[in-house]
Amino acid sequence: MGFDEVITLLGDFGTYQKRVYFLLCLPAIISAFHKLGNVFLLAEPRYRCRLPDEPANSSYELPNTVMEKWYPYDSLHFKYSQCDILINNQTTKCTEFIFSHEEYGYTTVIEWNLTCEKAYLVAISNSLFMVGVMLGSLVFGETSDRWGRKITFLVASLLKVLAGVVCAFAPEFWTFTMARTVVGAAASGVFLVAYVMGLEMVGPSKRLVAGMVVFIFFSGGYVLIALLAYVFPNWRHLQLALTLPGTVFLFYWWLIPESVRWLLSKHRYEEAKKVIRAAAETNKVIIADETLDQLLKYDDDGKKKDVGQMTASVVDLMKHSNLRKRSLIIFFDWCANNITYYGLSWNTNNLGGNPYINFIISGAVETPANIFVYLTLNRWGRKKILCGSMIVAGLALLVTTGTPTSIVWLTIFLAMLGKISITVSYITIYIFSAEQFPTVVRNTGLGVSSTFARVGSIIAPYINVMSHIWHPFPLLVFGSLALVGGVLSLMLPETLNRKLPETLEEGEAFGKKPKRQNGKEVSVVAVTNRPNERENDAESTLLEANGKGN
């Protein structure tokens, strides 16, 4: 008997699992705080050059007559220049600025003059944060497998709080940026471990919904950022407000059990039994010691069977034409999804209208996107949802580039349509791509895909900063990438209700037109009519993917 069967005896989602799972979902809120808080921490308010002999605390607003006299007109952006000033009819670059505090209060851009020639520093800060996220997923993923989920979660939580406080008291830009890079790594580790622990403790029938619900908590944190930014207009206070709630997770050492699956993998059987008995007591069920002993026997047998399992590398994927084509499309899709998702999330300040409302809408649309995927993924098929959502996102974002700037509501509507569509695509790509790779190279394929995703999020800030040169540029790039990805994905085979490939040979044949022998179609990879088997495939690939925060 395996551990999944023991969970079934406990109750797939009994009282004990519900309580612990709820606690493990809360870190997703703080993860959203740190991953998207930069929208307000590094927000760029309206600004203009400071006039000669003008007091530093002057109001941003000036009469048009004064603007005409001192500021050259920027015909490309249809407004007076923010970076130049006229001195004796000569255009001169500014060194000091007057900022508007109406939209965002006091941000890092104001404190360190991250404008004009220094605007690229905002992109560098955001990019390095995502480098931290990438490194964190690698480092903390390894330590959680080696040293345990609980200790890794505790260390990452402590590191996140300490680095977040350093951010709040940073005396200059580079200290702030380096500390945020550490925050990114730690936040990635906290989310990763919590996500895996949550999925490892629920039964097979509940893993798919458990994998989706955590993202609803992430969306809730997304929305809360705007409320906190409104309450704390000073960026240092906001940084503390985003960081200090994370101290709660330091007490999880006494509230959250170690993963039973991890304990068994390390042959720590007595500790695993202790956790199982505690869960059984809370769930008011009785599991005989003989049943637990049978579980341990199964675990030993399983390990012996796995010793000779064949493995492959990403190089092997590239040696086969069909696998190579599918792999390259999947890698592009991960990059396009990540670059568009984070690019849109960080670009709400450039849409026009109220930035707080835009941000709340951008976060709120993720919840219906999660529900939509949960309801349709095993009904409509992965391919239809992935291709359809990416194409809709691409078209919506491309249309925004031709929308008149005076129709702000239409621009926001199209951008939010693109956001909800790319969120649907983002969730689907985790499952769909994992099911494309053969079993012998599935984890490797997911690892490479995740690397391409991180590259996309690292590049996204530089695309957003290009709005200084041409305002529609970011949405044009995001829309083009999403559209191309959606069209290319039409070449991928559907995986719903199909037996997944296990070997490289089956992977190469997967999706090819079946050959005919004696008038009958013959395929290496057969179709299965067992819905429960397909649901378990989806659940296992969710667990392998390790979540959006990975």
| pLDDT, position 8 | 73
- Cβ atoms < 10 Å from Cβ of 328: 14
Q: Would you say the CATH fold of 310-550 matches that of 1-44+112-309? A: yes
| pLDDT, position 529 | 41
Three-class secondary structure of residue 307 per DSSP: coil
| pLDDT, position 311 | 57
- Cβ atoms < 10 Å from Cβ of 66: 11
CA distance 358 to 413: 10
| pLDDT, position 306 | 42
**Predicted TM-score (pTM) above 0.85:** no
Buried b (16+ CB within 10 A) or exposed e, 138-175: bbbbebbeeebbbebbbbbbbbbbbbbbbbbebeebee
**Domain edges within the chain:** 1-44+112-309, 47-100, 310-550
Q: Which of 517, 515, 525, 516 is nearest to 494 (CA)?
A: 525
Phi, psi of 513 (to 5 degrees): -65, 125
| pLDDT, position 160 | 97
Query: How far from 336 is each of 333, 359, 390, CA to CA, in Å?
Result: 5, 21, 9
Q: Under CATH, which architecture does the 310-550 domain have?
A: Up-down Bundle (1.20)
Task: Please provide the distance, in angstroms rounded to a whole number, between the alpha carbons at the two ends of the chain.
Answer: 31
Partners of 527 in beta bridges: 498
Partners of 92 in beta bridges: 85
Secondary structure, 3-state, 351-378: CCCCHHHHHHHHHHCHHHHHHHHHHHHH
| pLDDT, position 333 | 94
Q: Which of 464, 360, 74, 415 is nearest to 407 (CA)?
A: 415
Domain 1-44+112-309 has CATH 3.40.50.1980: no
Residues of the chain with pLDDT under 50: 1, 298-309, 523-535, 538, 543-544, 546-549
Three-class secondary structure of residue 522 per DSSP: strand
Instruction: Give the CA angle between residues 262, 156, 234 to the nearest 5°.
Output: 150
| pLDDT, position 186 | 95
Residue 474 near residue 346 (C-beta atoms within 8 A): no
Query: How far from 510 is each of 429, 507, 533, CA to CA, in Å?
Result: 18, 5, 18
| pLDDT, position 295 | 61
Query: How far from 230 is each of 126, 227, 345, 463, CA to CA, in Å?
Result: 21, 5, 17, 27
List the structure tokens of 429: 């790509």
List the structure tokens of 520: 């009958």
| pLDDT, position 513 | 67
